[in-house]
Amino acid sequence: MAARSDAIPYDRLHHFIGAGLWDSAPLEATLWNQADELVGGEGAWLIIDDTALPKKGKASVGVAPHYAAALGKNANCQTMVSVTLASGEVPLMLSLRLFLPESWTSDAARMDKVGVPTPLQEYRTKPEIAIEEIDRIIAAGVRFGCVLADAGYGLSAPFRQALSARSLCWAVGIPRHQKVYPTDVQLIFPVAGRGRPRERHGPDVKSMAAHAMLEGAK
List the chain domain ranges: 24-173, 175-218
pLDDT at 103 over 90: yes
Other Cβ atoms closer than 10 A to 97: 17
Average pLDDT on 117-143 reads: 95
pLDDT at 63 over 90: yes
pLDDT at 32 over 80: yes
3-state helix, strand, coil in the chain (%, to 5): 35, 25, 40
Looking at residue 23, what is its pLDDT? 82
CA 150 to chain centre: 10
The CATH number corresponding to 24-173 among 3.30.420, 1.20.120, 1.10.15, 3.40.210 equals 3.30.420
Average pLDDT on 110-138 reads: 94
Could you tell me the pLDDT band of residue 167, with boundaries at 50, 70 and 90? very high
